[in-house]
Amino acid sequence: MNSSWNYIIRRILYLIPVLLGVCFLIFILFNVVAGDPVYLLLGKHASVEQAAELREQLGLNKPLFMQYLDVVKSAFTFDFGRSWSTKQEISSMMIQGAIPSLTLTIPAFVISTILSVLFAILVAFYRGKGIDLFIRVTCICMMSISVLVYILVFQNYLAYEFGLFEISGYEYGFPDFVPYVILPIIIWVVLTLGPDIRFYRTMILDEIYQDYVRTARAKGLNEKKVMLKHVLRNAMIPIVTYTVVQLPFLLLGSLLLESFFSIPGLGGMTITALNSSDFPVLKAMTILSAIGIAVFTLIQDILYTVVDPRVKLQ
């Protein structure tokens, strides 16, 4: 146990150099390569005085090293300043945006993971039989259809014609947001089900041919018990790995679905910031994703020791 804590503390400390590195890349991209953003903000006809004043305000007249320190400071204090286009505090914008994003991505992710694991168990159990073939073919078909088709067809029929859900938009507060997120959630699930079922099926089938499964059968266990206890518990190891690496991306929202459904989440915010060259927002999102990935990789390693007793954190 002691060595696991050492490991976790070590990994948390490693976050510091990782963040410094990410800050350096951001600094190179936005402060060095991107050039002077002043005329972008003021328009071509701004006077030299106005430009100088704005540079002063944004801290762009400082020496480069000081500018790097500003980036580092913002990463560690989570104070990213104000957006250039909306003039709002970026940290409060991020909190505002995180709510719609998470109300969309978390339920979508949970539903799609549960469904695909269940279907994968089903097809692995009936491997080679009709139902296996049917579900696999269905998966391929679902994967082959473009996401735009799903969005347009579902928006048109389910939302517009039958009026089951809202076509687009968002409202804060439970349960007001529910009708707005159901459709994007359905589309998310439909999109991920195909590849996920196929992936999990492979993971489960990898285990089915292991020697210990033969031992379990030789004990007289029935197929259901063999499958649900012996096989699944081992197949969970790669499945957990695969799902946890996706978690940081939930936080960042869904770029595509949010913009199509006009959901004011982090994904939509990132796209708007990209279009309007809103550097501080982009910097903040990049830092957020770096932290998210680093933290969830650590969580993944810790979860590993839970699902696989052979793994020790050292």
Which residues of the chain form contacts with other proteins (CB under 8 A)?
Answer: 3, 6-7, 9-10, 13, 128, 210-212, 214-222, 230, 233-234, 237, 307-310, 314
Report how far residue 180's alpha carbon sits from residue 257's, in angstroms, rounded to the nearest whole number.
12
Residue number, 9 or 152, with CB nearest to other proteins: 9
Residue 239 CB, nearest distance to other proteins (Å)? 13
CA distances from 284 to 11, 89, 143, 259, 288 (A): 23, 11, 33, 19, 6
Residue 309 CB, nearest distance to other proteins (Å)? 5
281 contacts 87 by C-beta, under 8 angstroms: no
Residue 10 CB, nearest distance to other proteins (Å)? 5
Residue number, 56 or 223, with CB nearest to other proteins: 223
Residue 312 CB, nearest distance to other proteins (Å)? 10
**How far from the centroid of its chain's Cα atoms is residue 93's Cα?**
18
Residue 136 CB, nearest distance to other proteins (Å)? 18
Report how far residue 34's alpha carbon sits from residue 47's, in angstroms, rounded to the nearest whole number.
21
Residue number, 42 or 307, with CB nearest to other proteins: 307
Residue number, 99 or 313, with CB nearest to other proteins: 313
Residue 223 CB, nearest distance to other proteins (Å)? 9
Residue 232 CB, nearest distance to other proteins (Å)? 10
**How far from the centroid of its chain's Cα atoms is residue 224's Cα?**
34
**How far from the centroid of its chain's Cα atoms is residue 112's Cα?**
14
Residue number, 87 or 310, with CB nearest to other proteins: 310
